[in-house]
A and B are shown apart, each in its own frame.
Chain A
């Protein structure tokens, strides 16, 4: 089939591109748009490395075709920081040693950002359940869980200070 034109907004920037229907969204983001922060691991929805946010929900970009992202709003790991300032979650990953090689990190940041928006005060069990959708072969997950827990505490402190 011939190419299809799609219009996608990624991290606030509009992209208008022609794609083959079989092109995976993960490949579109990396190769067509050059946003290589999103990583590609297993390409069948198991490892979680390619997780992005589409219309505000964390999804696997290797399980969506680029044509399906037409007229959708996407956020990748490059879109988390605001004016060069990392989010609290990102800072806590640094502080708590939530990463080593960094391959899985982008996906985890996207999932946890969505997760904490919907569930601002999760239990450790809920955090671990969410992380089960991501494979990390370096950290043993301990630092990642701590980084998420610290973010939850930081967010709570901020809410208390504001009130």
Chain B
């Protein structure tokens, strides 16, 4: 349980980090919080030859908002995100989701960017990014670009990023009006990866009718699954048990989970249905109770 040998670099700023990443080619790996990377290095499932430690890049540790967009730097610790009042006020779905990641001791060290680029199909932050269709800002030595979450996750542990690229910040849209959100998951033990997780955010008009809704599920496919039919099924309507059942049935029909040691495909499908019902219902009730933002 000891990692293989590697070269270690501690760049002082982003250009130096990107230059190191460029020159190390496929052998280079960024380490931020290391809460996913170090376990797999200890087990020698990963043996990067060159580790580039970005913990010193304080410019990438920030939480900002310009009223429309919430911006979080890639090096921001999960615990900082969890306890940020700004995030709670403007994007409460993130706050609710982060509390489910690992444990206090791993959230103290783990970063928002690290979890997203690791892209575990059951992980909370990729699911939230998909649910809100956040934007990922990515840099290489030569180029800076942004990608929507819907185009970012490709398959298990694989994203749209190239080996010479690094995630620098994530942007999440701030919804205004009568907005409610909900994040729920089922795991065997608190802190474990979810068997299935669900995230929902919706907006209501003045007559309690759903005007916009985003719904996504984690743990059911190789990447977080966006249920794009949810809007078609629910928009313009007040939430009824029948409508809720219809969405749950659509979810059950669109997920194709795999069986593994932790849960059978049938159980995961059942969880997907139940969690869908719960998050949509809770988000709706929260939106009804929410004050209208200016």
Contacts and interface: CB of A to CB of B under 8 A. Distances in A.
Interface range on chain A (Cβ under 8 Å from partner): 20 to 34
B38 A45 contact: yes
A132 interface: yes
B190 A132 contact: yes
Given A57-B79, A132-B103, A45 B3 contact: no
A133 B104 contact: yes
A148 to B, nearest CB: 13
B35 A21 contact: no
A44 to B, nearest CB: 4
A interface, by DSSP: helix, strand, loop or mixed? mixed
B53 A45 contact: no
Nearest to B192: A132
B145 interface: no
B5 A1 contact: yes
Interface string B82-110: 00000000000000000000111110110
Contacts of A63: 34-35, 38-39, 106, 109
Interface string A60-91: 10111101100000000000000000000000
A147 interface: no
A154 interface: no
Contacts of A5: none
B43 interface: yes
A30 B25 CA distance: 35
Given A24-B2, A132-B103, 18 more contacts: A4-B8, A21-B5, A21-B8, A22-B5, A24-B3, A44-B42, A45-B39, A57-B109, A58-B104, A58-B105, A58-B108, A59-B105, A59-B109, A63-B35, A65-B8, A111-B105, A132-B189, A132-B191
